[in-house]
Structure 1
């Protein structure tokens, strides 16, 4: 929204400077994007009259002019001019000797031997915009010999507001003036709009077939207008040009001016073109599929069923609230017009500019909401201006009204105001602010009931009005107060705690780096790494290789490994915490998983430790560190992504909570990986199952170690032996651990030897040999009974 300071002063006489006004508007929520002078600096430039024009004796294209500059010279000035439009009797702009213009200074001199005492100016020489090539031609009634800056109101500034979508009420000067009056606490002086008397009985029937889309439509006929050879007033032309609009013809210019003034878009139809084919009526309806419309901007569009149009009985005339049609527009030969002023529902207009690929000043306002209480008054205002400028006679207003938005009163509680703003505003102050904003309200039992104005579609709830109070009171007057609250440290439970942050800290401490991958993955990954032939597919994937939702994190980590290896980074330790998506019984389910990948050396390259590659047991140790005291098992199993002889499922309380193993050799070749890796994937909720530590009496007696070596079938796992021995170990055994595995010579085929270290310790006394032997014999007996284990000699 653009406007000038002088135009604004017609409605509110603010006393502050333009910089102060810009600051106050911005602080009140109406951001002032820029404040620019109407014209660059120049001085000693006056209005003048050309008394005579003679040919230059030494140049064909130059003229010697006698110029009257009024009080600025005792006699006429001789000025040499080469402008093509210079003529005797013209009122022009003259720069006197000593004048300073944007790009030159005027001095007395000779041009081709003829003295010149000044310069007749074009708009370009003064730094002004103009479509005329040549001298600035002033009206015939322009006074002679006054400062041109004063005459053309060039000591003015253009304000540009960067309005947010909710402040459509300030897309007109009335709304801006209302805001400035409220902010500066000055009196608002909007022009009083008087009804125009009807001089002719002519009317058009108005048929609004979609009252919810067009709740209010007003129109009237004006006959006998003159469009050609008529000029709009200078003040109106200035307002249009300085607001960024160009002059078209008097009728269109007046409707544009009224739009800028009130914020209400309007449109004028050539009445003769509406009446063609007997269609002397106006119909507001949705378009038919097979209809087309040629618009004022030259576009010819195929109408859609959701486009609201203004039509007669045979054809569409305009896109409602967006743009008029070219065939029914006002031209120089127009003598009779139909003038419309309407309120269209914002939801009907919203989004149409995007669909069409272009917008308009009308659509910009209607899609945000206009003041429907002013619709009829705006029509009266435009009618009066048209009659003053173009002549003619006006008919009565025809109005169709239904389904207008209801403006219900909203309760505003002073205590709620104080709580939100942190400032105690008494009832008198709140009432004064509402009065400055021109809100209609009543007070009952200390509570305000405020009716939102028709122009403010952004005011719906109590907090909206509290924000209005804050704006007018001044944000800079609201003290910055730190919140006050009592804080009590909460106990951290040992079970049921979200493990995510703890897991992240543990893994980072163990040299892992976190990665974040897309949840959209290549369908090939799901088939290769999870054997998932029916992943959840995306309806609109962002890329062909990101077409499904992942059900495992392994594919992303393998891709990260490939990325690192391609860049000569051979030691990779990464993890990811993220969502996976499964289909169960036809329903999509989201779960949180943790995945880890290790590849390369166990330790960074150094002289103190021999190089060793990561293996299954290194990652197994990391998993055990995450699960802590929980009794987990690793059982040999096959997984699509893992080596069949070097993979295991991770069990907790009889449930599979994850997988661990070395990457399958097939995928090393398939994905061109130069080295293998060990991977692991776990369910996050399994990590949250913490076991409470149990207190045990600390023994002051030394521990006794006994080693046993048993021979079992190769199919029996060490985990199975450890499990059964821990169940039967009794009170004296503090630890049982495996320290050796042997198979080969001196053992039968299909047999292996497992050696266990057993630590025993008494809590009240030293253990005797008999007690120790009894405990060891019990452990040997139980593994022999359950697994056929025999003591190795």
Structure 2
């Protein structure tokens, strides 16, 4: 909402300058988004009257003007404006005046001395038509300071209001708020009932009473719609962002800004019969004031007469019944429309109006009659005419239930003792009814405060008026204790740092993805579909991190980045209940940046496997597997402690084409919970007894991964076995076809005594039996 500071100070004038006032209002929750001067700085510009304008003797387009600037004698000014003529009152910059980008001096123009410059709006830096001189009102005082006469030292204040503060979408509401914040007295408009001089009226029937609990109408006859809008009203409208049009229309717009009540004026002769407030019927259309023809939906509230809709309730009037310069009889409308009946309708029609903006948030139903009287008063004063009685259709208005504010609760929430009298004065200043009962207040919110419904709302109001800046910062009263930290769990930041140390860069991609990505990466994926997506290409929740990373890769390749190594830690969404945290990575391009010390080589499966083993701190158990997004011959499933925890492999050639990539990147995705687990180092003395080594060669199927055999042996190993490792993989003479020989080194040692031959044999035999039973492996002889 934009308004001139002078209008606000006319209603409430605290002892604060502009910056201090803006700060006070912002700290009270009404954010001041911008402060802007009404006009750029300029000086020594006076109101002048052109007495004569003669053609320049040596120039066809110049005129030599005699100008009255309020001094003893007229001054001569050479002017090139096409509209310079005797009798006009215009702004005149005298010698020494400083205008935006120019300083005025006495000068000779084609041999004629000129003592100033007659100004256009462009030369003064003002808005409006720039062709020719700026023509002032006939009653402009000659010799007066132009800047002071038009109040150009005013400031435009723009507020960024939250949706719950619709009461501050009017000057009356803002004045009330500033008065409550600063304690300054307010001078709200004093409105009296307009005299009823005729008994003409229109019948009003409200069919949709829930959507329109209150409707007021009044006939005014014999107005002069062409009467000029007063300068003070036009100035306030313009500086509030509304262009003056026609006096009756300007008056309804002025009441909207002053009291926050949207109104509408119909041309009475163009109405057919009485007024009916109802929902639109299927197929009805309405030509709106902006020239748009709206196709009305059955849930849209309309103002209709016998011929059909004449206005879209709470949004915009209709063009056929609009007030024009020839109009002499009007029907004024003021109503309270339920916010739910207006919300969203304007947006569906591509509209955004001052009326809908207010009705959607809630208009003061207690001030509708006051607004009608104010508009009638202004209309009679400016346009003349005679007013009829107010026709009222009233149903059940919203109730304002009393709220109890406990002072003890207020102290507990705020943390300080607040003066009860000060709290009461603040609530009264906001327009509430306050009844004090012992240590609590019973507060009935005013009709314009739809946001006050519970005790917490009143606590917020009390603190807001007290001033957030005035609440001292206090240390917490609760004892501070260090929370235990599990050393067996790595923090996510530690994992991220390890990935950075491995030459990867972190990316953060959207959790919302294109469903086509999910289908391409896994045809069996069933992503969660959003009911209200922010964009059609972001309408599903990701089931893998790879889609976002592949899009990131393509984005970088399009910008000539030939080497990309990225990772992301984030959640994937298999279902509403299952949302695990994953670590995903992608590598594309050369293993190392281009350099002289090593030949260029493309990153492959084993490079990334090595990165993961450095990340885990030990060799990984990789097993052959098939993933729909990975190359069937260059992919593997990752296993930890006998459980599958992720995938590693090269992107499938089909997806290389789908994502329009010049080559295949290597990808991995693992459960970050597995990475976060670690064992805590434990002290153990070095054994003084000899270790025993036994080498075992097992023959097993060539397709059985070594990791499967190692996992089985390690799980079955007796306590004295210190390590089990593969040191040879043999295939050839002496080993049957489709089988391989894995040589296993077994190291045994005890810290208390020397192992006996029987203990060593028992440990070895158990390993051999395990290999036979679980992996179908035989001891090679």
By the TM > 0.5 criterion, same fold? yes
1:413 to 395, 406, 420: 406
Aligned-pair distance for 1:219?
A: 0.8
2:183 to 178, 182, 185: 185
1:619 lines up with 2:573 in the alignment = no
1:12 lines up with 2:28 in the alignment = no
Deviation readout 1:29-50 (Å, 9 max, x if unpaired):
3316224256854447357696
1:263 to 260, 271, 274: 260
Measured in 2, the distance between the counterparts of 1:15 and 1:727 equals 82
- Partner residue of 2:34? 33
From the superposition, tell whether residues 709 and 432 of structure 1 become closer, same or farther in structure 2 (CA, over 3 Å). Answer: same
Aligned-pair distance for 1:374?
A: 0.8
- Partner residue of 2:778? 789
SS of alignment partner, residue 454 of structure 1: coil
- Partner residue of 1:45? 46
1:385 lines up with 2:378 in the alignment = yes
1:220 lines up with 2:221 in the alignment = no
Measured in 1, the distance between the counterparts of 2:622 and 2:390 equals 88
SS of alignment partner, residue 364 of structure 1: helix
Taking the TM superposition and a 5 Å limit, the aligned residue runs for 1:224-235 are 224-228=222-226, 230-235=227-232
From the superposition, tell whether residues 597 and 249 of structure 1 become closer, same or farther in structure 2 (CA, over 3 Å). Answer: closer
Which 5+ residue runs of structure 1 have no aligned equivalent? none
Of stretches 182-191 and 519-528 in structure 1, the one that deviates more from structure 2 is 519-528
Aligned-pair distance for 1:355?
A: 2.8
SS of alignment partner, residue 11 of structure 2: coil
SS of alignment partner, residue 429 of structure 1: helix
Aligned-pair distance for 1:312?
A: 0.8
- Partner residue of 1:208? 206
- Partner residue of 2:156? 159
Aligned-pair distance for 1:549?
A: 6.0
1:432 lines up with 2:425 in the alignment = yes
Measured in 2, the distance between the counterparts of 1:327 and 1:374 equals 29
- Partner residue of 1:168? 166
Measured in 2, the distance between the counterparts of 1:514 and 1:281 equals 68
1:340 to 324, 330, 333: 333
From the superposition, tell whether residues 722 and 621 of structure 1 become closer, same or farther in structure 2 (CA, over 3 Å). Answer: farther
- Aligned residue pair count: 772
CA RMSD of aligned residues (A): 5.1
Measured in 2, the distance between the counterparts of 1:662 and 1:118 equals 80
- Partner residue of 2:270? 273
Taking the TM superposition and a 5 Å limit, the aligned residue runs for 1:623-642 are 626=616, 638-640=626-628
From the superposition, tell whether residues 471 and 701 of structure 1 become closer, same or farther in structure 2 (CA, over 3 Å). Answer: same
Kept in 2, the 8 Å contact 1:522–1:546? The answer is yes
SS of alignment partner, residue 162 of structure 1: strand
- Partner residue of 1:707? 695
Taking the TM superposition and a 5 Å limit, the aligned residue runs for 1:224-623 are 224-228=222-226, 230-274=227-271, 279-483=272-476, 485-493=478-486, 503-504=495-496, 514-516=506-508, 530=522, 532=524, 551-553=543-545, 575-582=567-574, 590-595=579-584, 619=609, 622=612
SS of alignment partner, residue 330 of structure 2: strand
Aligned-pair distance for 1:397?
A: 0.8
Aligned-pair distance for 1:164?
A: 1.1
1:741 to 729, 750, 754: 729
Deviation readout 1:210-234 (Å, 9 max, x if unpaired):
1222221111112222334x33444
SS of alignment partner, residue 397 of structure 1: strand
Deviation readout 1:714-765 (Å, 9 max, x if unpaired):
6777567656765775554433433223332345556654433333334443
Of stretches 560-569 and 36-45 in structure 1, the one that deviates more from structure 2 is 560-569
From the superposition, tell whether residues 415 and 161 of structure 1 become closer, same or farther in structure 2 (CA, over 3 Å). Answer: farther
Of stretches 733-742 and 339-348 in structure 1, the one that deviates more from structure 2 is 733-742
From the superposition, tell whether residues 566 and 747 of structure 1 become closer, same or farther in structure 2 (CA, over 3 Å). Answer: farther
Deviation readout 1:64-98 (Å, 9 max, x if unpaired):
9988877x53xx6476787887888x584685976
SS of alignment partner, residue 372 of structure 1: coil
Of stretches 3-12 and 636-645 in structure 1, the one that deviates more from structure 2 is 636-645
- Partner residue of 1:199? 197
Aligned-pair distance for 1:207?
A: 1.0
Aligned-pair distance for 1:432?
A: 2.3
Aligned-pair distance for 1:582?
A: 4.6
Measured in 2, the distance between the counterparts of 1:428 and 1:704 equals 88
From the superposition, tell whether residues 693 and 320 of structure 1 become closer, same or farther in structure 2 (CA, over 3 Å). Answer: same
From the superposition, tell whether residues 28 and 159 of structure 1 become closer, same or farther in structure 2 (CA, over 3 Å). Answer: farther
1:755 lines up with 2:727 in the alignment = no
Aligned-pair distance for 1:425?
A: 1.1
Deviation readout 1:276-317 (Å, 9 max, x if unpaired):
xxx321111222232222222333333333332211111221
Deviation readout 1:629-670 (Å, 9 max, x if unpaired):
9xx976555555667677665566765444556777998999
Deviation readout 1:598-632 (Å, 9 max, x if unpaired):
78999999979999986669838946974989xx9
From the superposition, tell whether residues 763 and 191 of structure 1 become closer, same or farther in structure 2 (CA, over 3 Å). Answer: closer
SS of alignment partner, residue 395 of structure 1: strand
Deviation readout 1:183-236 (Å, 9 max, x if unpaired):
3322222233222232222221111111222221111112222334x3344433
Measured in 1, the distance between the counterparts of 2:779 and 2:371 equals 106
Measured in 1, the distance between the counterparts of 2:736 and 2:601 equals 35
Of stretches 258-267 and 15-24 in structure 1, the one that deviates more from structure 2 is 15-24
Kept in 2, the 8 Å contact 1:6–1:156? The answer is no
The alignment's TM-score, normalised by the length of structure 2, stands at 0.80
Kept in 2, the 8 Å contact 1:55–1:63? The answer is yes
Measured in 1, the distance between the counterparts of 2:147 and 2:519 equals 81
Aligned-pair distance for 1:3?
A: 4.0
Measured in 2, the distance between the counterparts of 1:118 and 1:515 equals 64
Point out the structure with max Rg over C-alpha.
1
Measured in 2, the distance between the counterparts of 1:360 and 1:112 equals 56
Measured in 2, the distance between the counterparts of 1:205 and 1:610 equals 89
From the superposition, tell whether residues 569 and 738 of structure 1 become closer, same or farther in structure 2 (CA, over 3 Å). Answer: farther
Measured in 1, the distance between the counterparts of 2:249 and 2:773 equals 105
SS of alignment partner, residue 181 of structure 2: helix
Measured in 1, the distance between the counterparts of 2:342 and 2:421 equals 41
Aligned-pair distance for 1:771?
A: 5.5
Aligned-pair distance for 1:119?
A: 7.9
Aligned-pair distance for 1:24?
A: 3.3
